[in-house]
Structure 1
Amino acid sequence: MAAPNAPYAGFYQGPAPGIANAAYNTPPRKDEVQVIANPHEQDTITAAQHGTPEPKGYLHLLDPYTVFKWQFPNFYRKPGLGYEKLAKHRHVDVFEREWIGDYDDRYISAYDGKISKLVVQAVDDIYDNTTNSTWRRTFVRNIAPLYLRLANWPFNHVDYSRNGGNPTSEDWPLIFVKWFFASVAISFVIGTPRGAETPVRNNGFYDPFPYRYIGYPKTARNVLELDSPRGHALGETNPVSERILRPRYLCFLRQPGEPCLIMKVEDWIAQYKAESRLSYIMVAYTAEQFKSNEDLAVLHQIADAAARNAGVLAYWVSCSCMPDQEHLQEDVYRICDVIRGAHSLAIAVGRPWNDMQGITTTELMLQQWGNRIWTFPEVLLAPAGKDIKVYTRGSDLMSPVAVPKNQFAVQVWKDDAQIARQLVDHYEGNLILSQLELMTLALECLHKRNTTQWLRGDHSYALMGLLRIRPKIDPTDTAFQAFARLSLANGSDQLLERLICVLPKTPDQPWHSMDDAYHSKLWEIYPQDTSIAGIGHDNTIILDGCRAANVRWKSFMPIAYTRIFSWKRMAAQSILHVSGYVFWASIILMGVGSIAVGAPLFVYSLVLMGLSPYLLRLMYLGKFWGTQGLLFGFEGYMDIDTVERQIFGARLGRMRWTTMASPLSRHHKNEHGECVPDDPTSDTVTRALVERCKYARPGEQRVFTLVDTGNMTATLFLATRPPVCFILAGAEGGMQRGIGCSYDWTTATLYRETVLRFETPIQDKTFRVPRVKIGFDRPLHPVGGLGEVGEAKGGRVE
């Protein structure tokens, strides 16, 4: 196995968990989790099993790989990987400051709005043992005041989950020993104590996300937002294609045995003055079964017989009724209008010319026909209430197989019959779907079917035929852009606004999939004051009206909070604040000979010294009535006791795991029927996942923890990169959906990394952001060993 600084052609090849490798500094762990035989079995792990040791903190300064820098955090570890330097990139921040440099991981600072190198605090196992990231890592620091940590130290071995959090008889001996040493230590740091209270930031709001997208969209809702608005007429931001009321050409019947007459419909009407009698059938087929000239001749024989059996004057078949190359592209995507105006639908099937699967029966031929993308809307749009006639090559053309339209799904579309039947019922008029349901179900069915690609947006153009408003075909569209323009044109149900709030079930889930990791349907997600302002040039959308909160990854910081007034707390504060002065005054008095005055004061100060841990706990402990809203993140997992100690100095039951904010959240019902959060790693499968993700490669998902001090919760989640902000864009199930986004500063694009669920009051504590450019899937920039590619460089343009 190569050393961590070797180039990997874009991918990092790290060691598997438990494999010793000196180059990676990852010795096998004795507590390596063994995956259980039944992956769905869940066991409750005791605190001793899933608790994490106290982070080493500043002891990491002794590590040989810890590096110093001037800005905070002053100590960090360099990444083992770096991005290849393919070009210099430019960024303009919200204050119009320019930055030019190499591609690297950056975030937007909530403090000054600049893009800064991303530094992520990581648990000790990750900081010490892995070099598999492209971002810098730093160690977890305890930011509680020293004297507060000393005051809580005598109790930090008490298991809070036992005995209601109160010490037991087994705990008291060690508490007394630690109390003595804590009292002595406090006397050296409490001389002139300052309050542990922290000033409120942002009037109690979460840190803002100082971002604004200032580029042009490819497609906008308003013509004024285009790069050359004067060159566009009103309504041309997303031009709509006109419907055709009748086909351009039809194949008109002649005497039996004679070939049809292919003629322009307008010319036929002008010649025969018989517009009211014009009726035709549509003959559908697939090129897999009818391809050669001989095949097409047989196809016309079938079509002729089908038209005579239906008692109409003409038939339409795509191989002969779209001869104009000038209008060919438009006609291909308007076949939906042809079927809407047809008398009935006839399907011609035959054995494929290159059959390797033994497709010899009408049933199999019909199923192959139904597996093509363009045949799907032909059945849906076929005239309601009429059977679909199936003609098989080589069979009796006077006795076709009649398939009722409402039975077509169960007989032909067997792989997705349940969904397809709902669409058939909608067009039959006996089960009307909303437009959102129609687009969602139809898109799911279309993407399960095969096609020979004509344009990249073919799936969306096939869907377009099912809807009333259809944008004009743009050959430069990607599949996503075609779908996005279609959604804009039919935007009353805010399909894209809902789709961006979906959390994919798997990392490789395509953008068009509606599968949600929270098992919600698209119509159950409600956009919150957000709307699509435009479609980007690089498979992105431009959202407006969102609320956002910045995530601080480099460290925790003190939190402002409010508590109810207490005379006991006020008295303890007054007594303790003067204790230092009393102690030094007694020393001075006894030193100058005033023992009668100094001795009592000295005894008094010793009593206060012994009571100092209690008085400090009395001053600063207790329940919070309100806390400053901030989002902190760190890579890896720590139990909730450890997390709370790092921020507040002790585990006092103020923080809890979220119950339903992430697919990794866990909870149970207690004896009172209440929902109680569990440690996510109480699930052995999740615990094994936490261990495995420590060695993730670029492009693979890792485990992160988000700490929300606004509601005093922690959430374990999976993401490929650390999300630098959360954008509130929708609501579902009584909670807000927050899109966790990484930031590609080279294109000013936010990319969805995860979606978490937040309690609704977070809306009242977050700032709105202007236009944001969001993408679904961030491209993986080529990666190599840091020693090979070197660190990224850049600078501000003055």
Structure 2
Amino acid sequence: MATTDSPRKDPDSHRGVSLEHGNSQSISAPPEPAKKQETSWWPWSKAGKLSKVEENLKKQFSGKPGFKQFRRVYRPALPAGSGHPDPEPGSSAAQSAGEDGDDKGTVVKGPDGKYIYVNQFHQQSHKFDDVAVYLSPTNFVPKRLVVQASDRVLDSRDELEKGDWIRSQLAGDVPVVLKVAEWALGPLQRGNALSKLDCAWRVLLVAIPIQVMLAIPGVSDWEEDEVTDTYTDFPGYYWSWPKYAVNYLDMAPSAKQKEKAAEQQKDMFAATLDVRRRAQRPRRLIKKTDHGWVEVDGIAEASLKYIFISYEWSQFKDEGGGNSNNRARRLAEKIAERERCAAFWMDEGLVSKASPADTDYDVYTMCDVIRGASRVAIMLGADTLEARRSWGDRMWTLPEGLLAPGDSLLVCREGDGGQLVLEQIHKTEMTATFWGAADDNGHDSTEGGSATRVLAEHFSGLLSLSRLELLPAAIAALDSKKRNEFTGSDLAYAVMGLLHYRIQRRDADSLFQNLARLSLGNDSDQLVERMLCLLPKAHSQVADSGVAVPVDSSVFEELAGRDEYDTYVHHITPLCQVVGVAEEDETVIIDNCRAMHIRWKGFPRPVVHRSHGFKKTLAAFCIASGLWWLTFSFETAVNYVPYWSGLVENVRLSLIIWVLAAFLLLSLLLSAPSPFSVRRLFGGTVLKSKPSLVAFEGVLPIAELEKLVFGNCTGRLTYAPSATPFARDWRAPRERVGTEPAWVGDPKVPLPALPSPNHHLFTLVDMGELAVCVFAAERPPTVALLCGREGGMLRAVLCSWRFETDCLYRETVPEQGAGAFLMLLKGV
């Protein structure tokens, strides 16, 4: 994950778009850091006035408290020294979808500095690019994100200066009558005699008001609403054409026309240079004839048996430092004669330099040349471990060793006097010498075997890797080798030699795009879909200052190892489908994925179905009877007392007053338990809860959190035992439930180490499962994508959304028990 001092993204550096076909999302890694500018963040124009864009930015990033929709909020402040990435209005935020200038469905910037967003219903909305936003699930327009935060966050100046979102106080929606009842019963928690007296006078004080509040229709209704299996979906839509689509018909029309025209212009010779086709024979070979070793046409000499020569040029240098071609050529000739082969192939002189297409074909079909050879011989300049390691450390020599026919290779060198010395070595033996897969103790340093060792066993026939295991192992093994980048995607082109289907080289494509389309072309096991569900481990290296600095790595580079949950990629079962690769780097387009909106502005009133028992019935009776007697007392005093006192002479007024006092006392006695009755009416065992996801920034003790959500604490909320890495060390020893970390309840305990200095702690509450989990992310995620399943758990990819790029960015991947989203998946 990329980290940045300012989490804002350059609008002209797009890396993703959002939805396609109504339910397909593109996911991207977090954006790169915005480049700092030398100019001031709010430069004055020539006219001496601020532009609309600058005025808006100054307002939204004031760093001061304010009010938004009648709520007190805390606006973000841009860190000192940061410059706004795009202060000039009128620049385009996205390229037009079509070549004819039609920008329908794109996110563009108008001359007033506002972006134009088009939702799935073709409705346009205009908005400045400023603070973080979310896509409203109710009216489908971008809105500024207001994140509720704990007091620990709001009291920290350092936290308020981080991030580009608006913050507010934690807010719940607890009925007023329940708040009054809990206030009256609050002193009982202290457990001493004075607290009981304090509670007694509070109960008497609120008994009658509680009765009145419960009598007002719609104010404090304790009856339950119907719990439905619904959730708030993410209403995004992806308009742009993908760069590469699994379905050819989903490619951009202009791209299809150009590709078709290019195919028609190809002649028969050009068609043979398509690296996606397997080479039946090498185009050139060096053959022994009566006139010596000469270069011949390998395709014409179809029955010619040849040996493949692999060597490192640096080991055959002459005394002047140049390559000694004669020495390498002479040794190759001896090897071919020794192995009774009439020809050999070596890259020196046989890789054509006639044109880039010829070079590409000879280089990227070299894997076919290796597979078709009689043997593969490794030429060494000296018989030393250093020479062997030097050959094995290069990326391009690894496929030459793995793809060699059989389970062994020839290791050749010149001995004393120029005689040929040959040694046969097994591929698995090479992992301890040539490929250096062993540590200092002689043991494999990776659980289950290093990627190189596993590949050596696979290509030796000792171990069978599935398609799902082969590609991650190949990427990990080749990525650990040294390489001099020529295309920027050499790793992808080296990997494709080990696979069935290959791709054409395109210099404009990034490493991620090449690996993604290579995977989609070879993979029927949904590797990319599984990759979305992984939470890679955070890697860091110690800088010269002694501080650990996070290290960015490609998402493909992490596939061969375990993630933060100790899970391999093949353990995951996808619940979505990748349908293409987007134009933006590290971005894919997914379809058939359940998406859930995450609510940040406050906790809604819980919609639950509770058990109905005798105690709840008794509580309702006490409320009703107390209210009836109270009403009867007032009605008697108002309507009947004047009548009796004036017409009935033998009834004394004092007696009437005592009767009314008795009625009032009885109603007060029946109303006195009203706070307890209210707690029972709004409490009880929760049998079913309406599913939704609510989050806030920071952490809060679970007792205070439950009181905020439900009005009181009876143990309804629990910590998810394995939802995030923070729960790993905080689990009950016997019961499968999480425990509260010490740093949540005690402000004096320092917070745990975060993956990056720009990460924040957030708390997510699953209202359907009533589970709480703490996670770290760079920005508040607004969407949860249910992308996979693993070990009885669901992987929910939490993503933030960028209005200016219309793209979802993966923030983190918590997992939860399948029961947490069981109601959401009905009918899928």
> Per the shorter chain, which TM-score range?
0.7 to 0.9
**What SS does structure 2 have at the residue aligned with 1:320?**
helix
Alignment of 1:643 onto 2:674: no
Q: Distance in 2 between matches of 1:415 and 1:155?
A: 67
What does residue 717 of structure 1 align with? 775
Q: Distance in 2 between matches of 1:183 and 1:678?
A: 38
What does residue 138 of structure 1 align with? 168
Q: Distance in 2 between matches of 1:379 and 1:317?
A: 14
What does residue 412 of structure 1 align with? 434
Question: How much identity, in percent, do the aligned residues show?
Answer: 29
What does residue 542 of structure 2 align with? none
Code of the residue aligned with 2:623 in structure 1: it is: L
Q: Distance in 2 between matches of 1:465 and 1:12?
A: 38
What does residue 84 of structure 1 align with? 84
1:115/1:668 Cα in 2 relative to 1: closer, same or farther (>3 Å)? closer
What does residue 555 of structure 2 align with? 511
Q: Distance in 2 between matches of 1:546 and 1:293?
A: 58
Q: Distance in 2 between matches of 1:378 and 1:471?
A: 19
1:598/1:685 Cα in 2 relative to 1: closer, same or farther (>3 Å)? closer
What does residue 180 of structure 2 align with? 150
Equivalent pairs, count: 679
Structure 1: gaps (5+ residues):
14-63, 159-166, 270-274, 351-359, 771-798
Q: Distance in 1 between matches of 2:696 and 2:659?
A: 54
Over the aligned positions, Cα root-mean-square deviation in angstroms equals 3.5
> Residues 737-791 of structure 1, C-alpha deviation per residue, up to 9 Å, x if partnerless?
1001111222221111110112213444337999xxxxxxxxxxxxxxxxxxxxx
Q: Distance in 2 between matches of 1:769 and 1:490?
A: 31
Pairwise CA distance, 1:588: 6.2
1:182/1:740 Cα in 2 relative to 1: closer, same or farther (>3 Å)? farther
Aligned pairs for 1:27-426 within 5 A: 65-70=64-69, 74-81=71-78, 84-86=84-86, 87=91, 88=109, 89-100=115-126, 101-130=128-157, 131=160, 132-153=162-183, 156=186, 170-171=191-192, 173-185=194-206, 187-188=208-209, 190-193=211-214, 194-197=220-223, 199-200=225-226, 203-228=228-253, 231=257, 241-254=276-289, 260-267=293-300, 269=301, 275-276=302-303, 278-290=304-316, 294-323=323-352, 324-325=354-355, 326-350=357-381, 362-391=384-413, 396-415=418-437, 418-419=449-450, 420-426=452-458
What does residue 30 of structure 2 align with? none
What does residue 105 of structure 2 align with? none
Instruction: Say which of 741, 744, 752 aligns to 1:680.
Output: 741
Q: Distance in 2 between matches of 1:377 and 1:687?
A: 55
Q: Distance in 2 between matches of 1:456 and 1:562?
A: 58
Code of the residue aligned with 1:320 in structure 2: it is: G
**What SS does structure 2 have at the residue aligned with 1:192?**
helix
**What SS does structure 1 have at the residue aligned with 2:611?**
coil
Pairwise CA distance, 1:214: 2.1
Q: Distance in 2 between matches of 1:685 and 1:612?
A: 35
Q: Distance in 2 between matches of 1:110 and 1:768?
A: 21
What does residue 48 of structure 1 align with? none
Aligned pairs for 1:449-598 within 5 A: 449-506=481-538, 508-512=552-556, 513-514=558-559, 515-528=562-575, 530-538=576-584, 539-577=586-624, 579-580=626-627, 582-583=629-630, 586-587=633-634, 589-590=636-637, 595=657, 598=660
Q: Distance in 2 between matches of 1:414 and 1:686?
A: 48
**What SS does structure 2 have at the residue aligned with 1:442?**
helix
> Residues 181-228 of structure 1, C-alpha deviation per residue, up to 9 Å, x if partnerless?
144135335413231356457x33222221222221001111221111
**What SS does structure 2 have at the residue aligned with 1:556?**
coil
Verify the 8 A CA contact 1:197 1:561 in the aligned structure 2: no
What does residue 96 of structure 2 align with? none
Pairwise CA distance, 1:389: 1.8
Verify the 8 A CA contact 2:224 2:609 in the aligned structure 1: no
Pairwise CA distance, 1:583: 3.6
Q: Distance in 2 between matches of 1:588 and 1:313?
A: 119
What does residue 25 of structure 1 align with? none
> Residues 518-577 of structure 1, C-alpha deviation per residue, up to 9 Å, x if partnerless?
01111111112x211111111211111111111101111101111233344234225425
Verify the 8 A CA contact 1:282 1:316 in the aligned structure 2: yes
1:565/1:585 Cα in 2 relative to 1: closer, same or farther (>3 Å)? same
For CA contacts below 8 A with separation 6 or more, give which structure has more relative contact order: 1
Q: Distance in 2 between matches of 1:675 and 1:502?
A: 23
1:762/1:210 Cα in 2 relative to 1: closer, same or farther (>3 Å)? farther
Verify the 8 A CA contact 2:721 2:737 in the aligned structure 1: yes
Code of the residue aligned with 1:245 in structure 2: it is: Q
Verify the 8 A CA contact 2:210 2:674 in the aligned structure 1: no
**What SS does structure 2 have at the residue aligned with 1:137?**
strand
Higher mean C-alpha deviation, range 576-585 or range 471-480: 576-585
Pairwise CA distance, 1:684: 11
Verify the 8 A CA contact 2:781 2:798 in the aligned structure 1: yes
TM-score after normalising by structure 2: 0.76
Pairwise CA distance, 1:294: 3.9
What does residue 42 of structure 1 align with? none
Pairwise CA distance, 1:308: 1.6
Alignment of 1:728 onto 2:786: yes
Q: Distance in 1 between matches of 2:485 and 2:750?
A: 39
Pairwise CA distance, 1:8: 14
> Residues 397-426 of structure 1, C-alpha deviation per residue, up to 9 Å, x if partnerless?
511343222311122222466322221121
Pairwise CA distance, 1:380: 0.5
Verify the 8 A CA contact 1:183 1:612 in the aligned structure 2: no
Divergent runs of 4+, >6 A:
7-13, 667-671, 682-687, 691-694, 767-770
Verify the 8 A CA contact 1:547 1:763 in the aligned structure 2: no
Q: Distance in 2 between matches of 1:685 and 1:261?
A: 81
Alignment of 1:628 onto 2:683: no
Q: Distance in 2 between matches of 1:99 and 1:740?
A: 25
**What SS does structure 1 have at the residue aligned with 2:784?**
strand
Q: Distance in 2 between matches of 1:282 and 1:12?
A: 49
Pairwise CA distance, 1:85: 4.8
Verify the 8 A CA contact 1:724 1:741 in the aligned structure 2: yes
1:670/1:463 Cα in 2 relative to 1: closer, same or farther (>3 Å)? closer
> Residues 69-125 of structure 1, C-alpha deviation per residue, up to 9 Å, x if partnerless?
23x6x2211112288251544422233222343253111122222211111111102
1:688/1:554 Cα in 2 relative to 1: closer, same or farther (>3 Å)? same
1:668/1:117 Cα in 2 relative to 1: closer, same or farther (>3 Å)? closer
Q: Distance in 1 between matches of 2:731 and 2:819?
A: 24
> Residues 145-190 of structure 1, C-alpha deviation per residue, up to 9 Å, x if partnerless?
12212323455577xxxxxxxx79x456524423431441353354
Code of the residue aligned with 2:378 in structure 1: it is: I
1:189/1:669 Cα in 2 relative to 1: closer, same or farther (>3 Å)? closer
1:463/1:630 Cα in 2 relative to 1: closer, same or farther (>3 Å)? same
Code of the residue aligned with 2:279 in structure 1: it is: I
What does residue 28 of structure 1 align with? none
1:679/1:763 Cα in 2 relative to 1: closer, same or farther (>3 Å)? closer
**What SS does structure 2 have at the residue aligned with 1:364?**
helix
Structure 2: gaps (5+ residues):
11-32, 37-62, 92-108, 110-114, 215-219, 264-273, 439-443, 539-549, 643-655
**What SS does structure 2 have at the residue aligned with 1:302?**
helix
Instruction: Say which of 606, 623, 629 aligns to 2:668.
Output: 606
Verify the 8 A CA contact 2:764 2:774 in the aligned structure 1: yes
Code of the residue aligned with 2:311 in structure 1: it is: Y
**What SS does structure 2 have at the residue aligned with 1:431?**
coil
Q: Distance in 1 between matches of 2:659 and 2:572?
A: 73
> Residues 593-639 of structure 1, C-alpha deviation per residue, up to 9 Å, x if partnerless?
56355323311232134211111122121111001111110111111
1:178/1:584 Cα in 2 relative to 1: closer, same or farther (>3 Å)? same
